[in-house]
Chain A
Amino acid sequence: MFSFLFRRLLVLIPTYIGITLAAFAFIHVIPGDPILVMAGERGLPPEKYAELMHAFGYDQPLWKQYLDYVGQLLQGNFGTSFVTGRPVLDEFFELFPATVELAFFALFFALLIGIPAGIIAAVKRGTFFDHSLMTISLTGFSMPLFWWALLLIVFFSGYLGWTPVSGRISAMFFFDTPTGFMLIDSLLSDEEGAFKSAVMHLILPAVALGTIPMATFARQSRSAMLETLNEDFIKTARAKGLSPFRVTIVHAFRNALIPIVTVIGLSVGVLLGGAILTETIFSWPGIGKWMVDSIFRRDYPVVQGGLILIATIVIMVNLTVDVLYGIIDPRIRKQGH
């Protein structure tokens, strides 16, 4: 197990070199520099422009800017935002809990509905339930997130008036947010109605963001279950006279877990990507929205730092998934020996 982990960690070094290089290259290949974008139609006198480019080091050759940047990173310095002047890390940690909260509940929603639906569809293969579920999940999977989110708002908030339109909590509440997780902070705040308001605000964005992963989970667990249900050991279990429930859940599902866990791990990337759109529509103050704003403002330090931090999260999640494989399926962790 230890050497398995060690090998996984070793791979991180080239991965990180790649990520910093990609993050750096990505924002620099987009034309237009932050000073130009800031000046807009108004422009700047040429000498003032040159002065500012120099002051921020943007007149240096790119390779030198990259090396300086990596040097700073190694010392744990992500730089400060060109626009707000605040450290990138501070901004990230201020906004990250909002994204985690949203992604967590989206994932929760997706798992809660997606996996049972997939299992039932596999067991009742070929029935009306199976066909309709697959049709619905295909629709859910191919739906443009932007459109789906707006549709949810128009129907549930606009037409039915059940949920608030956007934001994390009613604008009437204003209290300290020590943890950054609104559900927890609203409980701590002692303000009447705050928790309920936070919950109500979370429902629509979580559903919107959870829809695509839900569809993926349903389809994936259906096909993984179908595969294992055809295995010989299932026939044996049935022949032994075990209850259908036990056969399905204990014998088949456990063996179908590997591909399902893989998809869950990969869906974290999807969730963070989807968070960009979801957060923008629902005015959800998380890192997705932060990145989009920063790209438009050519805020180099934020875009670079943000990409690296987000990549770190995806890597960590996948590392966890790899370790989970080992726990679920001993054959995998034994491979190295």
Chain B
Amino acid sequence: MKKSILAAAILAGGMVMSGQVLAAKTLVYCSEGSPEGFDAALFTSGTSFDASANTMFDGLVNFKTGTTEVVPGVAESWSVSEDGKELTFKLRAGVKFHTTKGFTPTRDLNADDVIFSFNRQMDKEDPYFKLVNGKFPYFNAMDMAKLIVDIVKVDDMTVKFVLDHPEAPIVSNMAMAFASIQSAEYAAQLHKAGKETDLNQKPVGTGPFQFVGYKKDSVIRYAKNASYWGDKPAIDNLVFSITTDASVRYQKMKAGECHVMPYPNPADIENIRKEEGITMMQQEGLNVGYLAYNTEKENFKDARVRKALNYAINKEAIKTVVFNGEATVAKNPIPPTIWSYDMSTVDDSYDVEKAKALLQEAGLGEGFKTNIWAMPVQRPYNPDAKKMAELIQADWAKIGVEAEIVTFEWGEYLKRSKAGEHDTVLLGWTGDNGDPDNFLRVLLGCQSKINGTNRARWCNDDFEALLQAALLSTTPIVRTALYEKAQKIFKEQAPWATIAHSTVFMPISDKVTGYKIDPLGGHFFHNVDLK
């Protein structure tokens, strides 16, 4: 009898939750892809960060869940020297690394762990540096090796970073995934056994959940870390059920096979909202989609031309057609969820006459030929670049500017646009650490023109001076004032057409409480409970 009831339950009820009765609370998250590994420093994808840093690790500092505010992590406090070139962290006592099948820590976290976590990413002699040929993409992209001159162990529980030059966002950087604190003891044990790759495959951290196992491309299992130093998670088990297709994730939510899913199909959103038992959470994303004018090309050297093209673009139409209406039209290069966002900016209105007049004034009244580069892939800040390019193409045609749409394979697209081969290019950015510098300097700074991430190839002395001044100050009010000024220059000079900030959607089951959307795009479960 019992068996037949079970069979009936399996047949009838999408089976999963009812298939087995678990006293423990298990939350199933239908994640969007397989992690590349579990050592966050080796990767750049949010999928890998969710599976590693966001569940199992702490930084010296962490982001307060649901905000970009920096709060103490395994460091209980920190201080910055007068000249901004010394950063000292006081570590928290009694922080325990996870005890797993392969590792039993003999001591609590101390300065050696912190030093190891960073040194391995820049010391060419470190076995863990050699293991991956120095492939630490975030550390490299942010040029941290140049910034950090030395890491000094002041005492067992105090670490001092000596910097080459002052850089205010460094504290926020320490909360990023690549700066997760690894156990030096575990690393040494693995090195001795010749099993260095286990650092990435059998992770040991200090975070709220610990690793149980990973079945490649299928499922990741975590258990609550009962000796976590912070608030202990309310759920006992956390399961990532890897489901790459967005429509299939939605079906799984409907069938009760998972509690939370990221990245719903834009086309499904209306239906999910109507679904019983599922709540659609949403928030403005910390991103920006833009069209960059290559300011080194003859036609785009004159700010009036760039401004004219901005006036010609109907952004409301783009919002409706490309984003299904689920986005915020962008007027600044940083999203409204970031501090120092300049509320007073007046956006370039959609005004064809004004655009024509400006072009005339710039001596290009006859119009000209150009191109629009459109990405071949969907990105969080732009779900359909080709469609967007077509709309802009039609808008520009009205003022006599004839644009050809160009596209390349993604890697090639990035490479060629970095080299400045485009006239205008569609691209975007998702914030890493909630600091305005992470948008403004990376995308519009003079150094980035050399590195290539400044696709407008725009280097404005006044703008740059403001960014540099803001780096030197650690006082938010001072920095805010500087960044607001910088945004005014940006708007006048128009190196980009700012297009939109997309909305982040998160369908969650009504059984889940306490979930918060992370503005930085991560997925966190330590504050979550199940009804």
Q: Nearest Cβ distance between residue A95 and chain B, in whole angstroms?
A: 6
A330 within 8 A of B: no
A223 within 8 A of B: no
Q: Is the CB of A37 within 8 A of B15?
A: no
1/0 contact trace for A157-180 toward B, CB 8 Å? Answer: 110011011111011111001000
Q: Is the CB of B453 within 8 A of A41?
A: yes
1/0 contact trace for A198-227 toward B, CB 8 Å? Answer: 001000000000000000000000000000
A190 within 8 A of B: no
Residue in chain A with minimal CB distance to B252 = A165
Q: Nearest Cβ distance between residue B67 and chain A, in whole angstroms?
A: 23
Q: Is the CB of B141 within 8 A of A42?
A: yes
Question: Which one of B197, B215, B414 contacts A40 once the chains associate, using CB atoms below 8 Å?
Answer: B414
B169 within 8 A of A: no
Residues of chain A within 8 A (CB-CB) of B138 are 42
Q: Is the CB of A41 within 8 A of B36?
A: no
- In the assembled complex, the Cα of A39 lies from the Cα of B16 at a distance in Å of 38
Question: Which one of A39, A171, A283 contacts B248 once the chains associate, using CB atoms below 8 Å?
Answer: A283
List 16 contacting pairs A-B, 8 Å CB cutoff, sorted by A.
Answer: A31-B409, A36-B411, A39-B414, A41-B453, A43-B452, A45-B141, A83-B37, A85-B197, A157-B255, A164-B16, A168-B218, A171-B28, A197-B15, A281-B248, A289-B244, A290-B217
A334 within 8 A of B: no
Within 8 A of B (CB), among A85-120: 85-86, 91, 94-95
Number of interface residues of A (CB under 8 A): 62
Residue in chain B with minimal CB distance to A31 = B412
Q: Is the CB of A193 within 8 A of B19?
A: yes
A51 within 8 A of B: yes
A79 within 8 A of B: no
- In the assembled complex, the Cα of A293 lies from the Cα of B135 at a distance in Å of 20
- In the assembled complex, the Cα of A152 lies from the Cα of B248 at a distance in Å of 11
Question: Which one of B13, B19, B408, B442 contacts A31 once the chains associate, using CB atoms below 8 Å?
Answer: B408
Q: Is the CB of A282 within 8 A of B248?
A: yes
Q: Among B4-12, B363-371, B505-513, which stretch is in contact with chain A?
A: B4-12
B245 within 8 A of A: yes
Residues of A near any B CB (own CB < 8 A): 30-33, 36-46, 48, 51-52, 55-56, 83-86, 91, 94-95, 150, 153-154, 157-158, 161-162, 164-168, 170-174, 177, 191-193, 196-197, 200, 280-283, 285-286, 289-290, 293, 297-298
Q: Among B152-160, B235-243, B277-285, which stretch is in contact with chain A?
A: B235-243
B219 within 8 A of A: yes
Within 8 A of A (CB), among B416-437: 418, 427-429
B140 within 8 A of A: yes
B132 within 8 A of A: yes
- In the assembled complex, the Cα of A297 lies from the Cα of B43 at a distance in Å of 12
- In the assembled complex, the Cα of A27 lies from the Cα of B489 at a distance in Å of 45
Q: Is the CB of A41 within 8 A of B427?
A: yes
Residues of chain B within 8 A (CB-CB) of A38 are 43-44, 135, 137
Q: Is the CB of B137 within 8 A of A285?
A: no
Q: On chain B, which size bracket covers the interface?
A: 35 or more
Given A171-B219, A193-B6, A164:B257 Cβ within 8 A: yes
- In the assembled complex, the Cα of A180 lies from the Cα of B70 at a distance in Å of 44
- In the assembled complex, the Cα of A240 lies from the Cα of B14 at a distance in Å of 57
Question: Which one of A42, A56, A289 contacts B137 once the chains associate, using CB atoms below 8 Å?
Answer: A42
B64 within 8 A of A: no
Q: Is the CB of A31 within 8 A of B411?
A: yes
Residues of chain B within 8 A (CB-CB) of A43 are 141, 414, 418, 451-453
B213 within 8 A of A: yes
- In the assembled complex, the Cα of A158 lies from the Cα of B251 at a distance in Å of 6
Given A31-B412, A95-B217, A166:B134 Cβ within 8 A: no
Within 8 A of A (CB), among B256-293: 257-258
1/0 contact trace for B449-473 toward A, CB 8 Å? Answer: 0011100000000000000000000
- In the assembled complex, the Cα of A160 lies from the Cα of B28 at a distance in Å of 22
Q: Nearest Cβ distance between residue A291 and chain B, in whole angstroms?
A: 11
Q: Is the CB of A161 within 8 A of B12?
A: yes
Q: Nearest Cβ distance between residue A14 and chain B, in whole angstroms?
A: 32
Q: Is the CB of A171 within 8 A of B258?
A: yes
Within 8 A of A (CB), among B15-71: 15-17, 19-20, 22, 26, 28, 33-34, 36-37, 42-44
1/0 contact trace for B209-249 toward A, CB 8 Å? Answer: 00011011111010000000000000000010111110110
B415 within 8 A of A: yes
Known contacts A84-B37, A172-B17, then 18 further A-B pairs from the complex at CB < 8 Å, ordered by chain A residue: A38-B43, A42-B138, A42-B442, A45-B143, A55-B133, A85-B200, A86-B197, A94-B216, A161-B14, A165-B251, A165-B252, A171-B28, A172-B239, A174-B213, A174-B221, A177-B215, A200-B10, A200-B15
Instruction: Tell me if A's interface is mostly helix, strand, loop or mixed.
Output: loop
Given A31-B411, A171-B239, A174-B221, A164:B14 Cβ within 8 A: yes
Q: Is the CB of B13 within 8 A of A95?
A: no
Q: Is the CB of A174 within 8 A of B408?
A: no
Residues of chain B within 8 A (CB-CB) of A56 are 133
Q: Is the CB of A32 within 8 A of B409?
A: yes
B120 within 8 A of A: no
Interchain residue pairs A-B with the least CB separation, the first 8 = A32-B411, A285-B217, A55-B133, A285-B218, A31-B412, A42-B141, A171-B241, A36-B411
Residues of chain B within 8 A (CB-CB) of A166 are 243, 245, 248, 251-252
Given A41-B427, A86-B197, A196-B10, A167:B221 Cβ within 8 A: no
Residues of chain B within 8 A (CB-CB) of A52 are 133-135
Question: Which one of A45, A150, A197, A283 contacts B244 once the chains associate, using CB atoms below 8 Å?
Answer: A283
Question: Which one of B212, B245, B411, B418 contacts A298 once the chains associate, using CB atoms below 8 Å?
Answer: B411
B485 within 8 A of A: no
Given A167-B241, A171-B257, A172-B26, A193:B10 Cβ within 8 A: yes
Residues of chain B within 8 A (CB-CB) of A33 are 411
Residue in chain A with minimal CB distance to B11 = A162
Residue in chain A with minimal CB distance to B142 = A42
- In the assembled complex, the Cα of A41 lies from the Cα of B418 at a distance in Å of 9
Residues of chain A within 8 A (CB-CB) of B409 are 30-32
Residue in chain B with minimal CB distance to A279 = B217
Residues of chain A within 8 A (CB-CB) of B7 are 196
Residues of chain B within 8 A (CB-CB) of A177 are 215
Q: Nearest Cβ distance between residue A229 and chain B, in whole angstroms?
A: 42
Given A172-B20, A281-B248, A285-B216, A164:B415 Cβ within 8 A: no
Question: Which one of A84, A94, A154, A290 contacts B251 once the chains associate, using CB atoms below 8 Å?
Answer: A154
Q: Is the CB of A285 within 8 A of B215?
A: yes
Q: Is the CB of B140 within 8 A of A44?
A: yes
Q: Nearest Cβ distance between residue A53 and chain B, in whole angstroms?
A: 10
Q: Nearest Cβ distance between residue A158 and chain B, in whole angstroms?
A: 5
Residue in chain A with minimal CB distance to B429 = A41
Q: Is the CB of B410 within 8 A of A164?
A: no
Q: Is the CB of B10 within 8 A of A165?
A: no
